Structure 1
Amino acid sequence: MTERSFEDLVEEANSASVEGWDFSWLDGRALEVRPSWGYQRSMGERMARASAALDIQTGGGEVLAGIPKIPPLCVATESWQPNLAKATKLLHPIGVAVVLDNDEPPLPFADDAFDLVVSRHPVKAYWAEVARVLKPGGIYYSQQVGPDSVLEVSKFFLGPLEGRVDTRHPEMARKDCEEAGLEVLDLRMETLRTEFYDVGAVIYYLRKVIWIVPGFTVEKFMPQLKAMHEHIKREGCFKANTTRFIIEARKPGEKKE
């Protein structure tokens, strides 16, 4: 098989659509080991028991659309217009209302509205708002990005990150959650292997996961991309570590049927 050129890989990845939260474009080009708790499966189990549920920052709706059973009342929020359109197309046919929300308080819902609130990789968790919209006895279930996730990639493009403070830590989440009046039922973190097999995969990832290298464009980071291409040719891949944590919390009080 002929080795693809740097220019070809860059052009392909830079023109690929990054709408939604589906990473299938990376199949065979990158590997990210998944957490042992299986978020979509475990979230789906909780959804099957819920009567009214909210998915915050649903992305393109792919994760929610893949669960076996949708609650009688189910709502999803999203802020980015391309994702909003994709999520609407995917979720409306299965009975999920998609609401435009700017990802900042307040959530556009009444107090005590849901017995389950979920969120996969929220940009920021607004714990007081989660507590407000949960019914007494209701559950919040969320998989979040942990500290120093794929830090190796950030450092490769940005250099030493001196003075950097990463607030995405499970114990900080516990503190904020409890200060909002929620009771933490489960909190676990895992460090997982990530590998990129060509520079196009790195470009696609950085265009989609925009906080890893803020302000990333191919033009701005061309020297680093060329160096990354040579590294992958030499080593076979670029290795990094991804961190994820799961948090489940309950709003005190008797659950109301």
Structure 2
Amino acid sequence: MPDERNRSFDDLVAEGASVPTEGWDFSWFEGRATEARPSWGYAVSTAERLGRADAALDVQTGGGEVLDFALAEAARRPPLTVATEGWPPNVARATALLRPRGVAVVASPEDAPLPFADGTFDLVVSRHPVEARWAEIARVLENGGTYFAQHVGPGSVYELVEYFLGPQPEERRNARHPDRERRDAEAAGLEIVDLRAERLRMEFYDIAAVVHFLRKVIWIVPGFTVEAYLPQLRALHERIEAEGAFVAHSTRHLFEARKPGTSRTP
């Protein structure tokens, strides 16, 4: 990791505040922060399923980076692949990245119905959706179709959340609990094929990484700005310099669900 001890708090905060936040490319964090990856290898597993699909949808694709990787690794590309995204800068980024692979990117707000006919897709995938809208997922899947996704779990990065916001109510901490999501998926008519959860270590080596992370992953500290949290940022900078990396833990769960019935796809 780079030696940032000789750089001032102001310089580091300014750097973290200036890095573009579009897309889900986290390469800027190399040497500044680390996060362990789930054992199931979501992108590679998605590639395997794309290689068997005929009509695939990636919900909330971000900048399209994960889908781009998965399509590059797939044994074959589905004849139809579509992605949705709600944030305009990401729509443009994903379109530029995915169009060469024949993927149509559709601008669609996260809380709107999916703009597709019933039973359009035999595979729906998503990495870290803001919310899994189970009724819509079930509606656009054909009978026998699969939903395969990696979700953010309960209490994810709560060491950082509670550093800035203080103790949080249990309702917020457990809002993404896999047991709750299982019940919601089943209520929408889906059958759970696989559900696994892991807790993963994260380390932030400088305050620039913290600032950029909170700007990029906006649900960690909603409404975060440097100005609003300047005293906490300065104190955390001094803590990192004195004690080393700030340690937090992300939570992730893998979902594989199936819509009952016989697929029309051979």
Asked if structure 2 preserves the Cα contact closer than 8 Å seen for 1:120 and 1:143, the reply is yes
Match of 1:191 in 2: 199
Match of 2:215 in 1: 207
What secondary structure does 1:247 align onto?
strand
What secondary structure does 1:220 align onto?
coil
* Cα distance in 2 between the residues matched to 1:163 and 1:75: 37
Counterpart of 1:223 (choices 218, 226, 231) is: 231
Counterpart of 2:108 (choices 101, 105, 113) is: 101
Match of 2:117 in 1: 110
* Cα distance in 2 between the residues matched to 1:41 and 1:181: 27
Q: How far apart are 1:157 and its partner, in Å?
A: 0.7
Task: Please tell me whether residue 60 in structure 1 is matched to residue 68 in structure 2.
Answer: no
Q: Structure 2-normalised TM-score?
A: 0.95
**Unaligned 5+ runs, structure 1:** none
* Cα distance in 2 between the residues matched to 1:163 and 1:108: 34
Match of 2:147 in 1: 140
Counterpart of 1:240 (choices 248, 253, 259) is: 248
Asked if structure 2 preserves the Cα contact closer than 8 Å seen for 1:105 and 1:129, the reply is no
Counterpart of 2:38 (choices 35, 58, 68) is: 35
Match of 2:11 in 1: 8
- Percent identity of paired positions between Structure 1 and Structure 2: 61
* Cα distance in 2 between the residues matched to 1:162 and 1:49: 43
Q: How far apart are 1:72 and its partner, in Å?
A: 1.1
What secondary structure does 1:239 align onto?
strand
Letter paired with 2:223: G
What secondary structure does 1:217 align onto?
coil
Counterpart of 1:152 (choices 133, 155, 159) is: 159
Q: How far apart are 1:4 and its partner, in Å?
A: 1.3
Letter paired with 2:105: V
Letter paired with 2:194: D
* Cα distance in 2 between the residues matched to 1:210 and 1:89: 23
Shift in CA distance, 37/85, structure 1 to aligned 2, threshold 3 Å: same
What secondary structure does 2:51 align onto?
helix
Letter paired with 1:194: M
* Cα distance in 2 between the residues matched to 1:134 and 1:32: 33
* Cα distance in 1 between the residues matched to 2:109 and 2:250: 27
Match of 2:258 in 1: 250
Letter paired with 2:135: A
* Cα distance in 2 between the residues matched to 1:115 and 1:85: 26
Q: How far apart are 1:163 and its partner, in Å?
A: 5.3
Match of 2:51 in 1: 48
What secondary structure does 2:99 align onto?
helix
Q: How many residues align?
A: 257
Match of 2:187 in 1: 179
**Worse overlay, 1-10 or 90-99:** 1-10
Q: Deviations over 1:90-141 (max 9, x none)?
A: 0001110000101124110000100000000000111011000001000000
Asked if structure 2 preserves the Cα contact closer than 8 Å seen for 1:153 and 1:240, the reply is yes
What secondary structure does 1:152 align onto?
helix
* Cα distance in 1 between the residues matched to 2:119 and 2:112: 16
Q: Structure 1-normalised TM-score?
A: 0.98
Asked if structure 2 preserves the Cα contact closer than 8 Å seen for 1:79 and 1:100, the reply is yes
* Cα distance in 2 between the residues matched to 1:199 and 1:164: 29
**Unaligned 5+ runs, structure 2:** none
